[in-house]
Amino acid sequence: MKSRIFAAIATVLCALALQACSKPQFQGSDLSQTKIGGEFELVDHHGKTVRLADYAGKVVVIFFGYTSCPDVCPTTLAELRTTMAELKEQAKDVQVLFISVDPERDTQSLLSQYVPAFHPSFIGLSGSKAQIDAVVKSYRAIYQKQGKDKNYTVDHTAGSYLLDRSGQTRVLVNYGVGAATFTHDIQLLLAE
């Protein structure tokens, strides 16, 4: 009787160990079982039309923001710059996409100066309001203009989405957790 109980316990422990080994332990919120994200078409800061599929084979970081953002956007991009340095050679397999939620002010020229200032490989994306709204909706993000004059601000989702090499949304990294979380979770996705 004892041997059957030990055998059952051993079977359960082995199953739990295999499950723990097969599922990455992200520090961000695991979105692997959700249907967040999907294909999109926008224009990069070089004026080229791009799709998410253009970055297949890379781990992609998507961040919604705007160049006049006083805090969240520059902080997040600076954390991602630190992560790229920490990844060293692996950084070539990571693509950061900054999707502007302020196409009224974020011109191609402005995006081409702002986004690569944080890291030369970072790409700024924009498009029509309808295109941006479609991407925002597919990622279940939000943004809303605050104010009426030229000095308006834009409230927006502050988290960053990490996509695996096949373009599936896997992790949401919340604002302010630091570069270490980005580095950890990106390394897990790169190892897959």
- Segment 102-153, tens digit of pLDDT: 999 999 999 999 999 999 999 999 999 999 999 999 999 999 999 988 889 9
Q: Mean pLDDT, to the nearest integer, of 2-24?
A: 47
More reliable by pLDDT, 11 or 97: 97
Residues 176, 140: Cα–Cα separation, whole Å: 20
pLDDT of residue 59: 98
Spatial contact of 106 and 67, defined as CB atoms under 8 Å apart: yes
Q: Report yes or no on whether pTM surpasses 0.75.
A: yes
Q: Mean pLDDT, to the nearest integer, of 83-100?
A: 98
pLDDT of residue 24: 74
pLDDT of residue 15: 43
Q: Mean pLDDT, to the nearest integer, of 22-29?
A: 85
Give percent of the chain with pLDDT exceeding 70. 88
Residue 36's Cβ-count burial label (10 Å; 0-12, 13-18, 19+) is middle
The per-residue pLDDT of the chain, averaged, comes to 90
pLDDT of residue 148: 83
pLDDT of residue 132: 97
Q: Mean pLDDT, to the nearest integer, of 32-43?
A: 96
Q: Mean pLDDT, to the nearest integer, of 48-55?
A: 97
Give percent of the chain with pLDDT exceeding 90. 85
The helix (run of H) or strand (run of E) holding residue 143 is: strand 143-146
pLDDT band per the 50, 70, 90 thresholds, residue 22: low
For residue 60, give the nearest of 177, 182, 175 by alpha carbon: 182
Query: Does residue 23 have a pLDDT over 80?
Result: no
Greatest CA span in the chain, whole angstroms? Answer: 78
Residues 180, 82: Cα–Cα separation, whole Å: 9
pLDDT of residue 119: 98
pLDDT of residue 95: 98
Name every residue whose Cβ is closer than 8 Å to that of residue 100 and which is 6 or more positions away in sequence.
65, 66, 67, 106, 111, 124, 125, 126, 132
pLDDT of residue 19: 46
